[in-house]
Structure 1
Amino acid sequence: MTPAAEAARNAFAVQASACHERGSPFTGLLCEALGRILDHSTELGRRVLDWPGRPDARGDSVPLRLAAGLHALVRRGGLPHLAAFWPPHPLPEAGAFEAALATALPATEADLLPWLDRAPQTNEPMRSAPLMAGLLAVAAATGGRSFSLHEIGASAGLMLMLDRYEHCLGGATAGTPGARVRIAPGWEGSGPPKARVRVACRHGCDLDPLDVTHPADRERLLAYVWPDQAERLARLEAAIDIAAADPPRLDRADAADWTEAALDPAKLEPGVTRVLMHAVALQYAPETTLARIAAHAARVGAKATGHSPFAWLRFEADPAYDEQGSLRLTLWPDGSERVLALGDTHAERLRWLG
C-alpha cells in the first residue's frame, strides 16, 4: 500500500470514529465501509487513494466530501437501491450495507467526482450560540449600540442572521422569540449578560460562498448534514429559509484580503459597534493569513472610540484548551482580550467563563 493510500484509508477510519463519538452511527458506518471498498480499479478510488494533500480532517476532509456526495444523490432520488439503507431507515447491517455501496459506487462516479473538488460546507446554525453570547457581552459593555457584522468564512451567511433565531443561553434569551430556528446548547456556568442585540448591517466573505436562493447551493449545504441527525437537518433547513428571505451580502474573497478591504480603520460609524467575527473558519488557514487578520484588527481597533467601538469575536479550535472551541473577545478602544466561553466545536455544549 502506498503512503497516500494508507493516509486515505486512515482518514476514513478516524472520521468514522469521530462520527460515532458525535452521535452519527450511520455516517460512521458509511466512512468505515468507504475506507474498505475503495481501490485503484476505479477513477473515484484512484482520486481518493492517491490524494495529493492531507485527506483527513486537518487537511481536505476527503471522507466528508465523499459522504456528502452520496447523501446528495440519495436525497435527490438518484440511488434508490442505496436509499433503502439510508436514514430514516434503521441502521443497516454492516455487511449488507458495504455490499450495496460497492455495487452503487461504479455507476455514480460521474456524479461523485465533482464532490471531491470542493471543500466541505458546514454552515452549522448551532455555532451562532457562542457568537450571540459574545454579542450580548459586547452590547452590555458598549451601551447597547447596534452592530455592523463582518464575518470571515461565512459560507452561506447563516451566522449573519443570528438575531433572527431564538437563542436560549443559560439564563439569557436573545434574538427573535418564537423563531423557527431555536438555538439552545447545553450550558454550564452563569449566563451571558442580558442585553439587546440589534443588527444594522451584515456583510461576509468566503472562498466559496453559497447562495441560499439557489437550489443547488441549498442542497449542497443540506448534504453535509449527517443523515441520521434529523434535528440538525430541520434546523439547517429553517435557517436557510430565513436567510433566503433576506440574503446577507457575501463576497468571494480571501479572508485576509477581505478583512483589510471591508474594515477601513478611518471609517468610523458613530453609534455603531463594528464586529469582525468568525466561527470554526480559520483553524487551517495559513499563518500569514492569521497574522494579517490580527494586524488589521489591531489597526481598526486603534482608531476605535467610545462612540464607535470595535470588537473581534471568534470561536475557533484552540490549542491552549486541548483543541476545544474557545470564544475570544478583543474589544476596543481599550483593546482588552478575554476568553468568554469554551465548548465543543459544534457548539452543542458551552461553558461560560464571562
Structure 2
Amino acid sequence: MRITVDEHAPTADRYRAFAEVEARGMSATYDAWALGVATDPATIALIDELPPAKRQPNLVFSAARFHGAEPGAYEAFAGWLRSHWPEVRRTAETHATQTNEAARCALHLPVLAELQGPLALLEVGASAGLCLYPDRYGYRYSGHAPLDPAGGPSTVVLDCEVRDGGGDGVVAVPSRLPEVVWRAGIDLNPLDVTDPDDLAWLDALIWPEHHDRRERLRAAAAIVASDPPRLVAGDLNERLAALAAEAPQHATLVVLHTAVIAYLDEAARARFAETVRELPGHWLSVEGRGIVPGIAARDDVPNESSDFVLALDGVQRAWAQPHGRALTRVPNP
C-alpha cells in the first residue's frame, strides 16, 4: 500500500517514507539522500526552517539540484547543503514541485482516444503545459504497433509497458491519436518553456538518474513553444469553472490532472471533485490511491506501491507508473 505522510509529520518520518516508497528503485541518489536526512539532526534543523508545506523531499532536493548539487553520497550532499542553504531555502520558499513529465501522456492517451472528439483539454496543475499535447507525440506501447502523429514522426517518442490486469473491459491501446482543438491549463505559477530559468527549474525537478526524461523535456518544450497553450495563474478551485466555460462548444471537454490533487487539503479536494463532476464532458484523474474523493482503488489487480490510480469520471481504469513508464489496465468490476 502507498504510504502517505502528513506535511506536519516529523521531517525524519517524511524523508524516510519518501526513500522507502517513492525513491526506492527509482533513484538511488534520492533514496540515499532521503535516508541520510532522516537520521541527520543537523540537516533536519535546516529543513525545519521552511514552512511545513515546503519541507517535502522532492522540493528540497530539486532546489538543491537547481543550485548545482551533484548526485553522490549523502555525506557530500549534506556538506554541500550546509554551505548553500540560504539560496536553496530561498528557492524552496518561492518554487513548487511542478514536475511536467510529457511521458504521462502515454497514460492519458488510451482513455482520451475512447472519447468522442474533437477534444478540448483543460489541465489543472498544468505547470508549463507539456501534457496538453498528446496528439503531437509518438507512442511505443509494448506489444502494439508504433503510433505517430498524422503529420509524421514526432521528436518526442514515449515508451510505455502495457500490462493487463485480467478479465474483460480493459481500456484499449489506440490505433490513432485524438484530435485536440483547444488546450488550456491552471497553475498557481504557470511556467514558460521559453524562459531559461523556468526551463532550468523543470530540469531540476527531474530525478538525477532519469537522463531520458531530461532529453524528453527539451524536445517537448520545443513543441510547446511553437504553439503555446492558454495557461492561467491561480487556485484551481477558483479558476476551473470559468476556464472550462471558454472551451469550444463543439468539442468534448476533458479536465485532467496528474499528481496534483495530493497537494490540496481534504476540504479543497472535496470541493474540486464536486466542481469537476458538475462540468460537461469528462474527468481524467491520475493520482495516488486514496487521494481523490470517491474513487476506489482496485487492489484486486496487481500493482506497485508507488502506482497511481488512473480513473475516468471517477471509475478506475488502470494502475499507472507515475512517470508514464507502465500502465496496468483494470477490467470491469
Q: Please tell me whether the aligned partners of residues 277 and 283 of structure 2 are also in contact (alpha carbons under 8 angstroms).
A: no
Corresponding residue for 2:167?
A: none
Q: Does 1:185 align with 2:193?
A: no
Report the Cα distance in structure 2 between the residues aligned to 1:15 and 1:130, rounded to whole angstroms: 23
Corresponding residue for 1:106?
A: 82
Q: Please tell me whether the aligned partners of residues 186 and 231 of structure 2 are also in contact (alpha carbons under 8 angstroms).
A: yes
Out of 244, 249, 262, which is 1:283 matched to?
262
Report the Cα distance in structure 2 between the residues aligned to 1:169 and 1:227, rounded to whole angstroms: 25
Q: 1:26 to 1:287 in 2, by over 3 A?
A: closer
Q: Please tell me whether the aligned partners of residues 18 and 28 of structure 1 are also in contact (alpha carbons under 8 angstroms).
A: no
Report the RMSD for the aligned CA atoms in angstroms: 2.8
Once the two structures are superposed, the pairs formed by residues 1-354 of structure 1 within 5 Å of their partners are: 7-18=10-21, 20-37=23-40, 39=42, 46-53=45-52, 60=54, 62-74=56-68, 83=70, 86=71, 92=72, 94=73, 98=75, 100-117=76-93, 118-138=95-115, 142=116, 145-170=117-142, 171=144, 174-176=147-149, 177-189=152-164, 191-264=172-245, 269-270=249-250, 272-301=251-280, 310-319=281-290, 320-321=296-297, 324-330=307-313, 338-353=315-330
Which is bigger in relative contact order (C-alpha 8 A, separation at least 6)? 2
Q: 1:343 to 1:268 in 2, by over 3 A?
A: closer
Report the Cα distance in structure 2 between the residues aligned to 1:273 and 1:173, rounded to whole angstroms: 26
Q: When the two structures are superposed, what TM-score results if normalisation uses the length of structure 1?
A: 0.76
1:8 deviation in Å? 1.1
Report the Cα distance in structure 1 between the residues aligned to 2:77 and 2:266, rounded to whole angstroms: 40
CA displacement, residues 25-54 of structure 1 (integer Å, 9 cap, x when unaligned): 122222333444452xxxx8645135553x
Displacement over 6 Å in runs of 4+: none
1:214 deviation in Å? 0.6
Report the Cα distance in structure 2 between the residues aligned to 1:352 and 1:233, rounded to whole angstroms: 27
Q: Please tell me whether the aligned partners of residues 121 and 155 of structure 1 are also in contact (alpha carbons under 8 angstroms).
A: yes
> Secondary structure, in 3 states, of the residue corresponding to 1:278?
strand
Q: 1:46 to 1:26 in 2, by over 3 A?
A: closer
Q: 1:21 to 1:296 in 2, by over 3 A?
A: same
Q: Please tell me whether the aligned partners of residues 70 and 112 of structure 1 are also in contact (alpha carbons under 8 angstroms).
A: yes
Report the Cα distance in structure 2 between the residues aligned to 1:122 and 1:314, rounded to whole angstroms: 16
> Secondary structure, in 3 states, of the residue corresponding to 2:32?
helix
> Secondary structure, in 3 states, of the residue corresponding to 1:275?
strand
Report the Cα distance in structure 2 between the residues aligned to 1:350 and 1:111, rounded to whole angstroms: 39
Letter aligned with residue 328 of structure 2: R
Report the Cα distance in structure 2 between the residues aligned to 1:160 and 1:5, rounded to whole angstroms: 33
Q: Please tell me whether the aligned partners of residues 260 and 296 of structure 1 are also in contact (alpha carbons under 8 angstroms).
A: yes
Report the Cα distance in structure 1 between the residues aligned to 2:111 and 2:132, rounded to whole angstroms: 14
Structure with max Cα Rg: 1
Q: When the two structures are superposed, what TM-score results if normalisation uses the length of structure 2?
A: 0.80
1:268 deviation in Å? 6.5
Letter aligned with residue 99 of structure 2: T
Q: 1:194 to 1:154 in 2, by over 3 A?
A: same
Report the Cα distance in structure 1 between the residues aligned to 2:319 and 2:79, rounded to whole angstroms: 44
Q: Please tell me whether the aligned partners of residues 8 and 51 of structure 1 are also in contact (alpha carbons under 8 angstroms).
A: no
Report the Cα distance in structure 2 between the residues aligned to 1:172 and 1:34, rounded to whole angstroms: 45
CA displacement, residues 210-242 of structure 1 (integer Å, 9 cap, x when unaligned): 111111110101101111221122122222222
1:147 deviation in Å? 1.1
Determine which structure has the larger helix proportion and give its number.
1
Report the Cα distance in structure 2 between the residues aligned to 1:17 and 1:298, rounded to whole angstroms: 35
Q: Please tell me whether the aligned partners of residues 106 and 139 of structure 2 are also in contact (alpha carbons under 8 angstroms).
A: yes
Q: 1:11 to 1:163 in 2, by over 3 A?
A: same
> Secondary structure, in 3 states, of the residue corresponding to 1:203?
strand
Q: 1:25 to 1:260 in 2, by over 3 A?
A: same
Q: Number of aligned residue pairs: give it.
A: 303
Q: Please tell me whether the aligned partners of residues 48 and 62 of structure 1 are also in contact (alpha carbons under 8 angstroms).
A: no
Q: 1:279 to 1:102 in 2, by over 3 A?
A: closer
1:5 deviation in Å? 11
Letter aligned with residue 133 of structure 1: P
Letter aligned with residue 202 of structure 2: L
Letter aligned with residue 26 of structure 1: T
Q: Structure 1: state its 5+ residue gaps.
A: 54-58, 75-81, 87-91, 302-309, 331-336
Q: Structure 2: state its 5+ residue gaps.
A: 1-6, 165-169, 291-295, 300-304
Q: 1:5 to 1:122 in 2, by over 3 A?
A: closer
Q: 1:202 to 1:49 in 2, by over 3 A?
A: same
> Secondary structure, in 3 states, of the residue corresponding to 2:181?
strand
